[in-house]
């Protein structure tokens, strides 16, 4: 998405709130640095692969129903399919419940994706912190999420709007800014990884690096996605250049 369009959307959002005499809350003065901006190199720590054989990576959650009583937990295991189970509960380290989902994988040019797991965890209580564990043995990893409050006319809820994130040093400052904001959810307005700037196998590799890059937020806060034009993958050039 063009950043001007994004600014217009943001501006109209703020204005429409003023029109309706709604409390639009606080708008941050944070301004992302100007283009150009370099992609962070793949060996940077922000893309670090978690330790342990087949450890879950790129962990992310999204809202799993219309009410806020469910989440979908997704992750990638790199070496073998592994388990598609989520163990969860309201006490850290004590996982009373288990949900099981499904696994998929794909190929793009010569890139073979890892094993992508999706698990619906539903029937949850509102406004409750849940802890969850995925992966097995020494490679297991633990996270948490908080369900939103029960829907009502004046229920406070703080969310961030992010678009055009990418994986540059500016992307990192935007992500860190969101994480310090105290918001609970991201509405993502499209153009996630900018992996479409790459060709051949590097497209998949840059999707994976982006998944690891955002995990420190997406494993804990539901990000609610819409697709942008940079989500369209073209077949790589098949001719020798
Ligand atoms: C998915 O993984 C299986 C098991 O490793 C493999 O045999 C299959 O070719 C993969 N499918 C795709 C579309 O990459």
Which CATH number do you get for residue 69? 2.60.40.380
Residue at 20 is within a domain: no
Residue at 137 is within a domain: yes
Sign of the CA dihedral running 221, 225, 230, 234: positive
Taking only the tens of pLDDT, the chain with its 241 residues reads 545 444 444 433 433 344 444 566 677 777 777 766 899 999 999 999 999 999 999 999 999 999 999 999 999 999 999 999 999 999 999 999 999 999 999 998 889 999 999 999 999 999 999 999 999 999 999 999 999 999 999 999 999 999 999 999 999 999 999 999 999 999 999 999 999 999 888 999 999 999 999 999 999 999 999 999 999 887 655 444 4
Give me the pLDDT at residue 241, please: 42
Per the structure, the complete domain to which residue 194 belongs is given by 54-231
The number of distinct structural domains making up the chain is 1
Residue at 84 is within a domain: yes
Residue at 236 is within a domain: no
Q: In what order do the strands lie in the sheet with 223-225?
A: 159-162, 185-188, 223-225
Give me the pLDDT at residue 74, please: 98
Residue at 118 is within a domain: yes
Residue at 131 is within a domain: yes
Look over the chain and give the mean of its residue pLDDT values, rounded to a whole number. 88
The tens digit of pLDDT for each residue in 24-47 reads 667 777 777 776 689 999 999 999
Give me the pLDDT at residue 29, please: 78
Give me the pLDDT at residue 155, please: 94
Query: From the CB of 104, is ligand 1 less than 6 Å away?
Result: no
Distance CA 49, CA 39 (A): 18
Query: From the CB of 105, is ligand 1 less than 6 Å away?
Result: yes
| C-alpha pair distances (Å), 138 with each of 98, 174, 197, 236, 241 | 19, 33, 36, 38, 46
Centre of ligand 1 to C-alpha 105, Å, is: 6
Question: Which of 77, 79, 84, 105 most suits a substitution to test ligand 1, by most atoms within 8 Å of the C-beta?
Answer: 105
Residue at 170 is within a domain: yes
Give me the pLDDT at residue 24, please: 62
Centre of ligand 1 to C-alpha 113, Å, is: 9
Residue at 150 is within a domain: yes
Give me the pLDDT at residue 10, please: 42
């Amino acid at each position: 998405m063009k950043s001007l369009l994004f600014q217009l959307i943001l501006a109209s959002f703020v204005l429409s709130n003023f029109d309706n005499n709604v409390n639009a809350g606080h708008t941050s003065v944070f301004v992302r640095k100007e283009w150009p901006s370099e992609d962070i190199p793949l060996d940077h720590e922000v893309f670090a692969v978690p330790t342990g054989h087949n450890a879950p990576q790129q962990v992310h959650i999204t809202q799993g129903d219309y009410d806020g009583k469910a989440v979908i937990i997704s992750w990638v295991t790199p070496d073998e399919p592994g388990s598609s189970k989520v163990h969860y509960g309201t006490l850290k380290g004590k996982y009373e419940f288990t949900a099981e989902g499904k696994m998929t994988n794909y190929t793009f040019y010569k890139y073979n994706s890892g094993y992508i797991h999706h698990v619906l965890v539903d029937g949850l209580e509102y406004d409750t912190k849940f802890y969850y564990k995925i992966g097995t043995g020494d490679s297991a990893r633990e996270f948490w999420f908080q369900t939103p409050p029960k829907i009502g006319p004046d229920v406070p809820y703080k969310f961030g709007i992010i678009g055009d994130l990418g994986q540059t040093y500016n992307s990192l400052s935007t992500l860190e800014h969101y994480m310090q904001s105290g918001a609970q959810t991201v509405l993502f307005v499209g153009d996630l990884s900018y992996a479409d700037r790459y060709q051949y196998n590097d497209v998949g590799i840059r999707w994976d690096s982006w998944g690891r890059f955002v995990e420190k937020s997406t494993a804990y806060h539901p990000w609610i996605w819409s697709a942008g034009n940079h989500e369209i993958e073209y077949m790589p050039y098949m001719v020798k250049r």
